[in-house]
Amino acid sequence: MSTVDFWKYEGTANDFILFEVEDAHADLDPQVVARLCDRHRGVGADGVLLVTPSSFGLDGRMVVRNADGSRPEMCGNGLRCVALHLATRRGDPRVLHLETDAGLRTCRLDATRRDDGETEFHVTIEMGTITVGEPITVPFHDRRVNLVPVDAGNPHAVAFEGLDDDDLDVLGAQLQLSEPFPRGVNLERVVMQPSPPGGGAEASVSVFERGVGRTMACGTGACAVAAALVARGAARPGQKITVVLPGGPLEITLDAEGRANMRGAARRVFAGRVSVPDSAWARS
């Protein structure tokens, strides 16, 4: 058992335990991840982020483990936290090129001074091409629900029709075992809002996240919703789309080819030390 440093970060209230690891192929045992993320008996988080050197000479590599120990391909909120961590540790570079399981992602940081004197950091990420699939219907209780499948580097299903909070949780769990989504899926419930002043489009979104459950925010989910809105004609390429999640807003823009930029806040909450079994560290 070794005692190791960790940092707690949050991006729009999606919270993470972050470790720095020198091995470029490092991974962490899923059972240990689940214990660390336990909000009653562990540190508590939606997931664990491993920050390692990049095998391709980039500024770093991010490995994500969800709260249940599963490994998603991508996490937009997590990547903003990693970018902020590396920027502050390395003297505040404004542009970082980071390796993820979904490919290269470029991150740009900006900082603003709030009225209370605190500095607020935002990170804009080039999220890659978001692909919208053909709508499908799935059985749910005594009805069928229409879903829009979206690939944002990880799988999403976007629902534009009536799901209450209980429905979102039950259907989200049901879809993890369903034939249309063999890798599981993140489920987003969308409620359109009046257009904000100055133009653009706005939607309120709640998320059931694969491997976590209900979360305060999901960066790739916000991109999936924005792409689905453009596909439906509810928003236009190049237009700012504000996705308001329980943890706060994310700003998404997509070009005509479906390439997305996501801008949102990131914040370091605290740092600490925690005991981790030596045997928990693995190589991927």
Q: Give the catalytic positions in this structure.
A: 75, 218
SS3 content of the chain, % helix, strand, coil (to 5): 20, 50, 35
> What single letter denotes the amino acid at residue 185?
V
Q: How many helices (H) and strands (E) does the chain have?
A: 4, 19
Q: The tokens 């709260």 sit on which residue?
A: 67
**Of 62, 74, 78, which Cα lies nearest the Cα of 28?**
62
Q: Chain-centre distance of CA 190, in angstroms? A: 17
> What single letter denotes the amino acid at residue 119?
T
Question: CA-to-CA distance for 4 and 37, rounded, in angstroms?
Answer: 16
Question: CA-to-CA distance for 238 and 274, rounded, in angstroms?
Answer: 44
> What single letter denotes the amino acid at residue 223?
C
CA atoms within 13 A on the CB side of 75: 34
Query: What backbone phi and psi angles, to 5 degrees, belong to 175?
Result: -65, -20
